[in-house]
Amino acid sequence: MKKRIYYFISILIIIFFTIILFEILLQSIPIVYRNLPTNNEKIYVYSLGESSAYGVPYSGKISYAKILKYIANNEIDNKKIELIVLAKPGEKLFHQYIRYLIYKYMHPLQRGIVLLYAGTNDYADIKDEYINQKFILSGLLNNIIYGVKNFKYEYERIILLANKFDDDIYMSTIAGNYAGFMPGNISQFENNEFKKEIDNIDYLFLKEQYKQSFIQCDKILNKYDNAKAHIYYRIGKIYEKQNNIKEANNFYLKANEEKKADAIRIRPTIYQNNIIKEIAKKHDIPIVDIFNELYNSREIIGYNFFIDKIHPRIRTNIIIAKGFIGLLSKKYNIAVNKDITEEEIKKVENFKNIDMIHAYMCALGEIFLGLCRFGIIDMYNTNIIEKYILKMEEIEVEPDEEKQKLLYINTCELVFTAMFKNKKNSVQYLRQVIDKINEVVQKHKKNCLCHFCIIKKIFTIEKIKLLECQ
């Protein structure tokens, strides 16, 4: 028995000292390599973040980082830019930290510039507790045990890692399409009284009786505590119709800030941006306040800036790129190409018309799911679907791409009809929609079509229920 105990203790001691030695190694590598000379012919620019930084729904061909490279004429301090895109769709800050950590330890001499437009996939409406950030392994162990839930910690340790390797880091606040989607939590609609009153508000709005609609919103605002987000959102729509841009944006933001606004919070909050600014101030890091720039643009923060829920349009990517360029120009010698257009960016990045049609289709996938949640339709924004389909029809493509274009358009039209127009779909119609989605996904395997796979599952479940009733 004693031998087993000694054996077990010996193993624990070996594991303990192995962890310590490995931690010492991890801490030592950056110290050694940061003092060694780097490549004098290239300047490395790292792009960290999620799908918005990667370039969704433009299949990674267009992103703010690639636009920045073009604006800088591919040179910073007379050195050629080597863009290293670590941003990846669907990832969180934790994944980006791991990706950046692995890359830096494999390429310790590649000191450069880190651009951080990140945090759009992370929650940040809880009180962040302090976690020791000095030790790399303890941080990873904390993630394994407790999961990924501390926005401030996850964001800040990317900064600390960049500092370890002497990378020059630049940050940005984040934003989303606040006007284009109603709050995601629709559980309140199970309350028949609430649903009746909301339907009345929507009816008055559609009849352009904005004053009466506003009075009804004000009347029930404090009546349903868990439904304030939906009421704020409708007040925002009323102000938008009255061309009161500032108040409209304020109420869209209030709707998004409500703790129970979204079952899945995927539009950046003011709370998140306050944390980002706090971290930037703490570590004396230059920051691009994109959120504030959009807020002060005298435009609605909606589809004019974002192609779907959180992914920037090309014009917004240009705004982000110019923001970073402005900060970099204060430290580095950059010959800025100021006068750039969206069409110029498309040409430089070889972004073809068929790619733009694909981008609209990818955006529509997210819009379909966002505007129709469990039978509750956001009638305030369904017009954007028709606009996007019309834009797809207007875009000219090469003769050999015409079939692909028609497939995309036909699929979107079928889904639109099934989700928003037909109150009762037939089994035959659902089969037709599912077959079209399968054809798109199988024949044209590209990024961003995951939303259509989810839509296919929804229709498949509906089809099974109809078959069971027959």
Look up residue 212 and give its amino acid. Answer: Q
Do 96 and 153 sit in the same domain of this protein? Answer: yes
pLDDT at 150: 81
Look up residue 419 and give its two tokens: 């989700």
Region of residue 227 (left: phi > 0; alpha: psi -120 to 50; beta: else):
alpha
Query: For residue 44, what are the β-bridge partners?
Result: 82, 112
Look up residue 376 and give its two tokens: 């509750």
| Structural domain contains residue 1 | no
Query: For residue 168, what are the β-bridge partners?
Result: 113
R_g of the chain computed on alpha carbons: 25
- Peptide bond just before 399 cis, omega within 30 deg: no
Do 370 and 452 sit in the same domain of this protein? Answer: yes
Q: Which residues contact 138 (CB under 8 A, 6 or more apart)?
A: 132
Q: Are 124 and 259 in contact (CB under 8 A)?
A: no
Query: For residue 287, what are the β-bridge partners?
Result: 171
Do 252 and 283 sit in the same domain of this protein? Answer: no
pLDDT tens track for 39-52: 678 999 999 999 99
Q: Are 405 and 395 in contact (CB under 8 A)?
A: yes
pLDDT band for 459, please (50, 70, 90 cuts): confident
Kindly tell me if the per-residue pLDDT of 18 is higher than 70.
no
- State the average pLDDT over residues 339-364: 93
Do 143 and 279 sit in the same domain of this protein? Answer: yes
Query: For residue 46, what are the β-bridge partners?
Result: 84, 114
Do 163 and 291 sit in the same domain of this protein? Answer: yes
Kindly tell me if the per-residue pLDDT of 391 is higher than 90.
yes
Q: Are 189 and 263 in contact (CB under 8 A)?
A: no
Do 297 and 171 sit in the same domain of this protein? Answer: yes
| Structural domain contains residue 56 | yes
Interhelix angle for 245-257 vs 270-282, to 10°?
A: 90
Do 214 and 118 sit in the same domain of this protein? Answer: no
- State the average pLDDT over residues 76-94: 94
Do 384 and 428 sit in the same domain of this protein? Answer: yes
Kindly tell me if the per-residue pLDDT of 17 is higher than 90.
no
| Structural domain contains residue 83 | yes
We report the CATH number of the domain holding residue 124 as 3.40.50.1110
E strands present in 142-296: 168-172, 287-288
pLDDT tens track for 407-434: 999 999 999 998 887 767 777 888 888 8
Q: Which of 229, 257, 285 is the last residue of a domain?
A: 257
Do 328 and 379 sit in the same domain of this protein? Answer: no
Neighbours of 339 (CB within 10 A): 6
pLDDT at 219: 92
Phi and psi at residue 260, to the nearest 5°: -105, 25
pLDDT tens track for 272-318: 999 999 999 999 999 999 999 999 999 999 999 999 999 999 999 99
| Structural domain contains residue 29 | no
Q: In what order do the strands lie in the sheet with 79-85?
A: 75-76, 79-85, 42-49, 112-117, 168-172, 287-288
Do 166 and 51 sit in the same domain of this protein? Answer: yes
Q: Considering the chain, what percentage of its residues have pLDDT values greater than 90?
A: 56
Neighbours of 376 (CB within 10 A): 15
pLDDT tens track for 99-139: 999 999 888 889 999 999 999 998 765 555 555 555 555 56
| Structural domain contains residue 262 | no
| Structural domain contains residue 9 | no
E strands present in 203-300: 287-288
Q: Coil, strand or helix: which one is 75? A: strand
Q: Which residues contact 161 (CB under 8 A, 6 or more apart)?
A: 97, 100, 101, 104
Do 298 and 165 sit in the same domain of this protein? Answer: yes
pLDDT at 448: 61
Measure the CA–CA gap between 451 and 470, rounded to whole angstroms: 29
| Structural domain contains residue 167 | yes
- Say if pTM beats, i.e. exceeds, 0.85: yes
Q: Are 313 and 306 in contact (CB under 8 A)?
A: yes
Q: Which of 231, 257, 283 is the last residue of a domain?
A: 257
We report the CATH number of the domain holding residue 220 as 1.25.40
Nearest in space to 110 (alpha carbons), one of 136, 79, 88, 133: 79
Tokens 């630049």 sit on residue: 170
pLDDT at 263: 47
Q: Which of 348, 379, 414 is the last residue of a domain?
A: 348
Range of the domain at 230: 187-257
* Total domains in the fold of the chain: 3
| Structural domain contains residue 263 | no
pLDDT tens track for 205-256: 999 999 999 999 999 988 887 888 999 999 999 999 999 999 999 999 999 9
Q: What is the mean pLDDT of the chain?
A: 86
Do 228 and 154 sit in the same domain of this protein? Answer: no
Q: Coil, strand or helix: which one is 329? A: coil
pLDDT at 155: 93
Measure the CA–CA gap between 195 and 420, rounded to whole angstroms: 18
